Each structure stands twice: as C-alpha cells, then as structure tokens.
Amino acid sequence: MKITTESHGAVAVVVPHGPLVGEETLDLKRALAESAVLKRRIVVDMTDVPYLDSRGIELLLEQCGGQVPAHQRPRLASLAETCAEALELTDVLPRLEVFDTVDNALRGFQH
C-alpha cells in the first residue's frame, strides 16, 4: 500500500492510497507509528481508501479507538461511504473521531 505523509505544523496527515485490507494494514500501522514518534498529533486522510476489510477495521479500532489515550488518538477524515458503512455496521464508528474533511480535523486540534 502506498502511504504518503504531509506535515501541517505539529500535525502529521497520513494518507493511505488504496483499500485497507489484509497484510496492507501493516503498512498503515508502520506509518502511524513513525508519525507518532515525530509528531504529537495525527490525522488519517481516508479520501483514497475505497473500502476496508475486517483487518482494516481492527487496525483502525486498535490505532484510533477508545483504548488509545485521547491526546494520542489519530483522527480520521474524509471516509468513503463504504468505509463509513462498514465501520457503522460493526459498531466501530462511534469509537473513532471522524471528521468530514482534513481541514476540520486539523481545526479541531486548535481548540
């Protein structure tokens, strides 16, 4: 899975490109770990993730869910409809901080 990371001040915006499935979830896990070392806050821009499978859902819950302290929890932005639906059907969506755009997720850190 191709993953790019953009810096927005003290926030890293991690951008996965492609479906979040199977072994490719490990690429996102690595990118989040690397960004956590360098930056205090992370936004995952899901614009280019058309769908995810159970491993993708597990990764998002593990990395961005309620078990992670709030100040270290990555935020998700721009979920595709199929991703949002999968997260909602599995009751994971309410446990994540999800924003409609990256800009809104970044703005949320300023408050």
pLDDT of 86 > 70? The answer is: yes
Specify whether the CB–CB gap between 76 and 99 falls below 8 A: yes
| Tally of domains in the chain | 1
- pLDDT category, 51, cuts 50, 70, 90? very high
Q: Residue 19 sits in a domain of what CATH number?
A: 3.30.750.24
Tens-place pLDDT, residues 8-37: 988 999 999 999 999 999 999 999 999 988
Task: Identify the pLDDT of residue 69.
Answer: 77
- State what percent of residues in the chain have pLDDT above 70: 98
- pLDDT category, 52, cuts 50, 70, 90? very high
User: By residue range, what is the domain housing residue 21?
Assistant: 2-109
Distance (Å, whole) CA 38 – CA 97: 21
Residue with tokens 């790019």: 4
